[in-house]
A and B are shown apart, each in its own frame.
Chain A
């Protein structure tokens, strides 16, 4: 079963220099439990595609399905509901909620989606190595620890689709590898599909499939 399907996604932006086409009829699909690495140069449209897949941004043309649900037919509230319940987002800058403790951050999206399971969150925290850090605040954590909290927050809500945008971009190589290992392992266990946006061919090689964006179109990886 497809966890994510993108059909002919086209997106352009108005800039001072005129209209710039970022995505040109991009189509791709992601099966449940599959991981797909999306690579490409800076400005190739990777993040835009990920934002469109999450319903954060609207395409100019094309259709998006998360599972069986047509994201393009939904309004703002519908897309928000889908994100809460079906989609997990992981960012390069972690984007934790600074005013909440690690414990509250971990359970936040799950509670938002009405899927709170304290036992699952505690277990997840242990597996992520966050057991002793639950009462700390994000500012008191290292970059690697913060990203583990972000992964935990995403997976605690048991999403069908995980969208990760350069999740190890702010981490050193060793920590990045650890974080990616955890992410791949946990998403696989949860049966979630993972779309990983990355610059790194080394990290991309660890996913089940790879796609390369060049000038807004899917192309052969270099």
Chain B
């Protein structure tokens, strides 16, 4: 019985192969976009875990000096006092054709976790200068003078050396960056506060910031994946719903012939599971390829934006595949639930004529309208009272869903107006017929609206960000040349060398600190016109630069200003070793995940003496001559010198990379929506013949009817685009003023780019016309034969 029933059910798909293809493609695409994003997230998170295992000293506490470096003698002193500590040095150095983070450890004193990258047999080579790096790092930097070996245990962009080798490479003989503290220590030791009062004890948790910092990025990706998944499910829902309606008569016959309802429902559920597994497997393969293609850009983004070391190659994880299939099964169940519910409640003698798309009824429209209103209300409440990233994304989801549910209602109202205004019979029929067929297309149009508004919203956000960012770069990167000294002694020598040669030398010093409970950096700023004339400030107090120069307060970056709720003029900021200082103003600091405060150079040096100079920003009227002098006369390698154009190009490339993944997902989502529309129009075209045949019989040619079908799709697509425009702008506003502030800590002014919208409208029209072209062309070319069948089947 089951076999016979299944064969009967599946025979439908043999007769409607395009419908089957649409169902499978919809499911596969939904799975691909979702699982692709998940693969990216999983790969990045695995990389953070590796990085934190190594870079945060295997999760142990550590001792640091405020200046960021200490004499190696501290290590010996603490060891003699019985403390189990291990020295670590970390810095940036040129290696091969690139720059890497050089990490030096002492394998004999380090904890097991720290030296996990090393096998005991490698120790001899390690002591003799052998370094370990991720295969991708090795590929990126090419051949080096230093012997290097590949290992997956070292994060991308870092090379692990014995401490002596690292000190030599960093030009910091006798200096270390920190001491890592073993988890268990002997009893009765002299307290660290008295033994090493100049050192700060950093708890292990303080080092594990990477995952937290990048959470917002991954949440963004997940939200996009979910949106694409939802759009894919629209296709599935549409195909399953149509197949249900077309098989209504078959269900009735099967039941009349004695197939129990339970059995029939189980057969249909089994059919859906089968499709989910087939399409899910294909979707996983596509998702893997998609993730592999996008991972290099995601890795660059994460490195550029957060300094997170993520490899550019994807590893296969069976758990990811299982989770992806689970999601496909859940999505299929969701998309098919309505059909199964209707089957379960269908009386055995239900009329066999297809009451396609039951939600066409006015009652369903009213329900949909009520749901849209409720969601809009929820969005309003969230906008007024919500806080945090989850509330921000919930606001986005509620806004988008409310708008999507409102699409058929809005379009129906517009078409009714057009129908009333129409004069000729064909025009009147065109509008009335478009309105009547709206419910059959509404799912696809909702999917299109979601994709278009997401495109407008994200596009506006990115373009606003880009415009603001470029202006900001021009103001912030005014120094013509930047120089990176490799050691404190080189910094001193450079200062002496540059004094007669540069118009101004602006040294950059900083310490790591915790400000307002957040990981932060405190910078020194020399009082100079470079800053006074160029730095844009948010809400500065009067005479802000004079007061800063006098040491009367601090400037904070926008991230700290917003997250800690600081108010220039009234708030104070507690700085380590200084105490509370008035906040004088805030400055935009796009792309920086950390909180930041700026002190006058004099106040900084007084509070944090011995802090090394990490960089010199140089003002000069002849940058090429200064760069040549630095290279030829001082002997500084080119890798330690950056000119302004390079810095801007680098910053811009990081910016472009940051949104490449977003743009790619945007385009893919729009493509899926176009496919949803194509699926709906193709399946509808079969059902439309009976509606078009009388028109043909009354004297309209198939060519005329095909043109009207194209025009209908275009009109509906354009109306959807017009509706998507305000929704997209609202989305951009939410992204800029809620999500970005929550995720990154900065707020951007929204700028509108009508040319971009016009371009999107053009693309959407092309997508809609492409989707409508196949059924219209079929009607045009085979119209008479197809239409005649409607009358032939009457008997």
Contact = CB atoms under 8 A, between A and B. Distances in A.
18 contacts: A47-B791, A80-B700, A84-B699, A89-B698, A91-B791, A92-B794, A93-B794, A95-B697, A95-B790, A97-B433, A97-B694, A97-B695, A98-B691, A99-B691, A100-B428, A104-B432, A108-B429, A112-B698
B560 interface: no
Nearest to B704: A80
B701 A80 contact: yes
A107 to B, nearest CB: 7
A2 B375 CA distance: 67
B791 A108 contact: no
Contacts of A93: 794
A161 interface: no
A89 B696 CA distance: 11
A83 B425 contact: no
A113 interface: yes
B702 interface: yes
Interface of B: 424-426, 428-429, 432-433, 435-437, 690-691, 693-704, 784, 787-788, 790-792, 794-795
Contacts of A108: 425, 429, 698
Interface in A86-128: 89, 91-93, 95-100, 104, 107-109, 111-113
Contacts of A166: 794-795
Contacts of A57: 784, 788
Given A76-B701, A83-B698, A97-B694, A51 B429 contact: no
Interface string A12-42: 0000000000000000000000000000001
A57 B691 CA distance: 19
Contact of B699 (A80, A91, A96): A80
Interface of A: 42, 47, 51, 54, 56-57, 76-77, 80-85, 89, 91-93, 95-100, 104, 107-109, 111-113, 165-166
A6 B433 CA distance: 36
Contact of B791 (A56, A76, A81, A113): A56
A82 B790 CA distance: 21
A111 B698 contact: no
A58 to B, nearest CB: 8
Given A98-B436, A104-B428, A109 B698 contact: yes
B694 A96 contact: yes
A99 B360 CA distance: 13
B426 A91 contact: no
B691 to A, nearest CB: 7
Nearest to A75: B701
A42 B792 CA distance: 12
B699 A95 contact: no
B791 A51 contact: yes
Contacts of B703: 76-77
A97 B693 CA distance: 10
Contacts of B437: 99
Nearest to B430: A99
B701 A95 contact: no
A113 B699 contact: yes
Contacts of A91: 694, 697, 791, 794
A100 B694 CA distance: 13
A99 B435 contact: yes
Given A92-B795, A108-B429, A109-B698, 9 more contacts: A47-B795, A56-B788, A80-B696, A80-B700, A85-B699, A98-B691, A100-B429, A100-B432, A108-B425
Given A47-B795, A56-B784, A97 B699 contact: no
